[in-house]
Chain A
Amino acid sequence: MKQKKIILLIILILAAVVALLMILRLTGDRIVEQGQVEIIRQEQKWYLGETDIAKVPVKGELVNGKGERVSIDAKGSTMADVLTSVGIDPAEVGIVKIYAQDEYSAEVSGEELLEEGKVYLISGEDGTITLVVFGDSNSKRKVKEVARIEVDPK
């Protein structure tokens, strides 16, 4: 009987901790509206919407974790163009970190940004933005629901 009370106490404490952290997480400044992307370079911040990104047709193939080829046919922009649109010179970029709403992240180097037809941000049917990196051996760097892009200079 005593041990049952211990279990219930553990569950209640954990529920309280989850609730507290949930409030902190959902009221924190890291949540960006769906379909919006926050670009951060040092202290500067810019916000882009789906219409700012879905500009040109993007077609290609990605290889998923199982080795299957998945074709991409959407509207989007190269990452270099997106950064240029907010006044960041891609040639001066060291590393770009791309974060999803759930904080899953991927990194793209400055050299990769300059490669023709490699790094794209595409718009999905539900209005969310996805990072795709063509030429990767798996789709680990496919970041769905991109929320934040952090740019580190060289």
Chain B
Amino acid sequence: MKHEKLRQLLFWALCCDLGLFAKKLIAPAANLITDALHIPGGIGTSFSLLFLVIGACVVPRFGSGTLMGLVQSVLAVLFGMTGSMGILAPIGYIIPGLIIDIVLWAGRKSCLEKQLSCCLANMFSAAAAALTANIIVFRLRGIVLLLYMAVSLFTGAVCGLVAGRVVKRLERIIKTHEAKEVQQ
């Protein structure tokens, strides 16, 4: 395997793990907000998708988001982190990954800045995850569903903004590293 490809795979694996466990870490704080709003979630997922967006944006290949989502779903099933979705949990991981791929691909085609692409990708993937959870588990309607979706979109956009900044810094580091390698 080429050195570069191995590095990309390792980076994706790191993003998968960080995304999966970040959700667990942020859950107590996120639950405080969602409990106050009387909605069943939406914040933790947006935060965990930030890492998938970073992974898919730093290594821009179509399918990377879906692949990371797939790996996350396998890990979630193996570690018993499926939550209330149960055996259908993989759908809740793969669909947001696919949305990330589509939005980032569309962003590249229409020459959007990476920061805006990341913001939109995180936003729409969080909304897709919320919608999937609603169809499979919650079955919310009316104002509650609207609030749940709006919170997902809002936290997704904020996390996407953070993801965009992280991507910018990472790319600078990668470029410096590559320049050093060329010099050597």
B37 touches A105 (CB 8 A): no
| Distance in angstroms between the alpha carbons of A7 and B122 in the assembled complex | 12
Within A1-54, which residues are at the interface with B (CB < 8 Å)? 3-4, 6-7, 10-11, 14-15, 17-18, 21-22, 24-26, 28, 30-31
Least Cβ distance of A24 to chain B in Å?
Answer: 5
The answer to whether residues A25 and B86 also contact, given A14-B150, A17-B150, A104-B138 and a CB cut-off of 8 A, is no
| A contact residues around B27 at 8 Å (CB) | none
In the assembled complex, the Cα of A93 lies from the Cα of B157 at a distance in Å of 45
Known pairs A31-B38, A103-B39; A25 contacts B154 (CB<8 A): no
Contact A21 to B147, CB < 8 A, known contacts A10-B119, A11-B161: yes
**CB within 8 Å for A14 and B115 given contacts A102-B39, A103-B39, A140-B84:** no
Q: How far is the CB of B18 from chain A (nearest CB, A)?
A: 23
Which chain A residue lies CB-closest to B35?
A102
Residues of A within 8 A of B140 (CB): 103
Q: When each residue 58-100 of chain A gets 1 if its CB lies under 8 Å from chain B and 0 otherwise, what string results?
A: 0000000110000000000000000000000000000000000
One digit per residue, 1 when the CB lies within 8 angstroms of any chain A CB and 0 when it does not, for chain B 134-156 equals 00011110011011001101100
Cβ distance A128 to chain B, nearest Cβ, rounded Å? 11
A26-B37, A65-B83 are known contacts; what are 10 more A-B pairs with Cβ within 8 Å? Answer: A7-B115, A7-B161, A10-B123, A11-B154, A14-B153, A25-B143, A101-B38, A102-B35, A102-B39, A104-B84
